[in-house]
Amino acid sequence: MARSGLGKGLGALIGTPTVTARSDVAESGERVHQISLANIVPSTFQPRKDFGREALQELTDSIRQHGIIQPLIVRRAGTRFELIAGERRLRAAQEVGLVSVPAIVRTANDLEVLELSLIENLQRADLNPIEEAQGYARLANEFGMRQEDIALKVGRSRAAVANALRLLDLHPQV
């Protein structure tokens, strides 16, 4: 369940699918495709650095028992697909030995990919404060976004974004 106070969810930033092959339809009405794990590459925009061994093992066990409940989100990257959202699910699927995973294919530029990756992790409520701040810093530094713009995109207050960014100014030992 999404954390209250975050405002916009992933749906506010996501475009339309680009693949029209036979597929299932998600609750949102979007097409869900089975994509080979060998054709999915991780995103360089993933804000999460620590995936937590125990939590990842729990997800792996769940996928082994119930399968993948929520599709991954990917975008085309040449002949392959770049992961936008669902890296924990991807890692767990690899551990289980799945050959393919359900995924929604989106059209998204780099800015949208970073925004989506950050929002997905913020909604999960376990992104650590430094990872959150680093995500905001990337939006500012790589895409020239102001704190106000970042706050609007991720559904946080400008003060929350500013305070998070201040963490990056602290001495590393703090």
Just list the catalytic residues.
Answer: 87
Residues 6+ apart with CB under 8 A from 51: 87, 88, 91
Supply 32's token pair: 């869900």
Angstrom distance (rounded) from CA 126 to CA 38? 28
Cα–Cα distance list, 60 to 50, 123, 153, 157, 161 (Å) = 16, 20, 31, 35, 33
Is there a contact between 123 and 129 (Cβ–Cβ < 8 Å)? Answer: no
Helix (H) or strand (E) holding 34, with range, is strand 31-36
Burial class (CB in 10 A: 0-12, 13-18, 19+), 162: middle
